[in-house]
């Protein structure tokens, strides 16, 4: 039976993919086999006759075993907009995501699933990322971009996760703003406000080495 986590964020560009890749390397360094999944992605480009997402390709590349792109990213949309709009002609069907998830999780000991946008970002006209997370039944890791407004965003996201009755394993801070004032004070405020453990602080970097970022995790 594989173990895993669902990676959600406080907003778009919170650093979910970097955290997912760093966690993949973290578990590989522990001797585990790892695969990743990004079920829904918007802003894809045509490659080899199909739409592919840059983040999903990175997740595919960092897996311990070779897996088909269609398993990693079953819903790839071209427009860089909310998935429920980008996919209006091919909306996300959770049962199809679950079927691919069930295949993928048999390939490794650890599976990491990255969401799209924030916790309540819609994936079709009736469901959002929280519904996706609940259907996968994985504990959640919340990625918090440490920038102006992050305290409010993190508290609201954590509250919504609790209301959804999904276990939250902890949160990871990503220092996305090089010029963020009183960064450490913001992180300490969040440590006091959010009743799950801080699992790591990813420093600001323009060109990440995911093997080196493992040193900043404490999962």
Say which CATH number the domain at 53 has. 3.40.50.300
Counting the structural domains of the chain, the total is 1
Query: Quick one: pLDDT at residue 2?
Result: 66
Cβ neighbors of 10 (< 8 A, separation 6 or more) are 118, 142, 143, 144, 145, 150, 153, 154, 157
- Residue 78's pLDDT is 96
Where the chain has pLDDT below 70, the residues are 1-2
Q: For residues 150-180, b (16+ Cβ closer than 10 Å) or e, as one string?
A: bbebbbebbebbeeeebebebbbbbbbeeeb
Q: Structural domain of residue 139, as residue ranges?
A: 3-216
The confidence score (pLDDT) of residue 219 equals 83
| Known catalytic membership, residue 134 | no
The reported pTM is 0.95
Query: Among 28, 38, 52, 105, which one carries the catalytic annotation?
Result: 38
Distance between CA 63 and CA 73 in Å, rounded? Answer: 13
């Amino acid at each position: 039976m594989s173990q895993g986590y669902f990676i959600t964020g406080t907003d778009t560009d919170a650093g979910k993919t970097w955290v997912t890749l760093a966690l993949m390397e973290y578990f590989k360094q522990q001797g585990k086999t790892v695969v990743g999944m990004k079920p829904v992605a918007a802003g894809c480009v045509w490659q080899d006759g199909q739409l592919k997402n840059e983040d999903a390709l990175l997740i595919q590349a960092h897996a311990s075993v070779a897996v088909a792109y269609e398993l990693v990213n079953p819903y790839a949309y071209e427009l860089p907009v909310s998935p429920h709009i980008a996919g209006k002609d091919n909306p996300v069907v959770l049962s199809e995501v679950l079927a691919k998830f069930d295949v993928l999780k048999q390939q490794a000991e650890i599976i990491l699933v990255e969401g799209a946008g924030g916790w309540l970002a819609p994936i079709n006209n009736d469901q959002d990322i929280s519904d996706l997370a609940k259907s996968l039944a994985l504990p959640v890791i919340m990625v918090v971009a440490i920038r102006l407004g992050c305290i409010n965003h993190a508290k609201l996201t954590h509250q919504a996760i609790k209301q959804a009755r999904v276990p939250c394993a902890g949160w990871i801070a990503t220092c996305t703003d090089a010029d963020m004032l009183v960064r450490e004070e913001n992180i300490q405020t969040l440590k006091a406000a959010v009743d799950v453990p801080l699992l790591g602080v990813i420093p600001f970097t323009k060109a990440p080495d995911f093997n080196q970022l493992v040193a900043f995790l404490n999962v």
